[in-house]
Amino acid sequence: MKLNELSLATFNLYNLNEPGLPLYSDRNGWTQAEYTLKIAWTVRQLRILKAEIVGFQELWHAASLARVLDEAGLSQEYDLLVPSDADGSHIVCAAIVRKGLLSSTPNWISAFPRKFNLHSSGDDPQTPMIDVGISGFSRPVCHFTVRPREDEPDVHVYVCHFKSKAPTQVFNEPWFKADKTAYGKHASALGGALSTIRRTAEAAALRFLLTEQMKGNDTPVIVLGDINDGQHSNTANVLTGQPRYLVGESVGGGDVALYTAQTLQEYRDTRDVYYTHVHQDFRESLDHILVSEQFYDNSRRRRWLFDGLIVNNDHLDFDDHKADGTNDHGVIRAVFKHKPMRR
């Protein structure tokens, strides 16, 4: 296989589960009617996307995603990558890959790297000690490799979903119950801090894995995911390594850097209207396509040239996603053309 164009997408499925199965505290889950609408809308999105690789978040049941592929008429065109325990009892990351591209057996990474450590006694005498004891990802990271071209190395793909900005519910914690009077008025702030710490730790742990994968070599990497934070957030900064974006004829590239397709699009656009989520009328980009320097236009090691990005987000203008079968996130698609940098 020698693809001249590679398209990527990331797609939050908004709790895609079989009808009648519980979703968080909702013991009844989707009704059959809601489920039918949800499947139909997801089918339309996949038909429109026509991407070689699609990373999914918020999948509960493997059968639901398989049904989407069947109804879209795409079952024979894609390999479905879903963990064996996707039985509707919890959330997983998943993917579909166009037949002929997959070059490894997918795996799901639950535990943080063994050497990963978030402990510091402080940078100076005024800085108190910090010790973050988180051992794994909230949603296991899906990892696999693809080979878009026989004359190119395998590309490592990671599909991730980090902790949301919603405050962690602390009201059931023993320390909270022991003194509700003291803690009750602070539940939101404390919960928000815990969510931020967890999301940051997940970004750092994935960054740790990526650096081990990329350092000192030419390994191409793609990260597709809902990181629940914006393009310039600390979460994104930790994950990407904050690379420098060059202009004109300048060339460079970072060995372990990740470049956001959002920024690549902004360099080509006269107007930035990129958003993938709306909360309390605030629009922000939580979903991202990140690529290593092999996909960065100005990299000396470029193999693929960015060719544009689209965001399907019109459905975010309407709030009742259950009623119309839509999702609460935009769907992103980016395209790259095979065009190695001339040396």
User: pLDDT tens digits for 25-50?
Assistant: 889 999 999 999 999 999 999 999 99
Q: Which class for 4: exposed (0-12), middle (13-18), buried (19 or more C-beta within 10 A)?
A: exposed
**Token output for 256:** 């372990």
**Backbone φ, ψ for residue 330 (5° rounding):** -75, 160
Is 120 contained in some domain? no
- Entry pTM: 0.95
Is 111 contained in some domain? no
Higher pLDDT, 248 or 80: 80
Is 117 contained in some domain? no
**Token output for 124:** 């100076």
Residue 272, pLDDT score: 65
Structural domain count, the chain: 1
Displacement of CA 7 from its chain's centroid (Å):
16
Q: How far apart are CA 62 and CA 17, in angstroms?
A: 8
299-324: pLDDT as tens digits: 999 999 999 999 987 877 777 888 78
Residue 248, pLDDT score: 83
Is 178 contained in some domain? no
Q: Please, what's the b/e burial string for 69-98 (b: 16 or more CB within 10 A of its CB; e: otherwise)?
A: bebbebeeebeebbbeebebeebbbbbbbb
Higher pLDDT, 343 or 25: 25
Q: End-to-end distance of the chain based on CA atoms, in angstroms?
A: 24
Q: Residue 156's closest CA among 167, 168, 143? A: 143
Whether 281 has a pLDDT exceeding 80, the answer reads: no
**Residue 228, domain extent:** 5-105+138-163+218-338
135-163: pLDDT as tens digits: 999 999 999 999 999 999 999 999 999 99
Q: How far apart are CA 35 and CA 164, in angstroms?
A: 24
Is 231 contained in some domain? yes
Is 153 contained in some domain? yes
Is 234 contained in some domain? yes
Is 124 contained in some domain? no
Q: Residue 109's closest CA among 78, 65, 143? A: 143
297: CATH:
3.60.10.10
Beta bridge partners of 12: 57
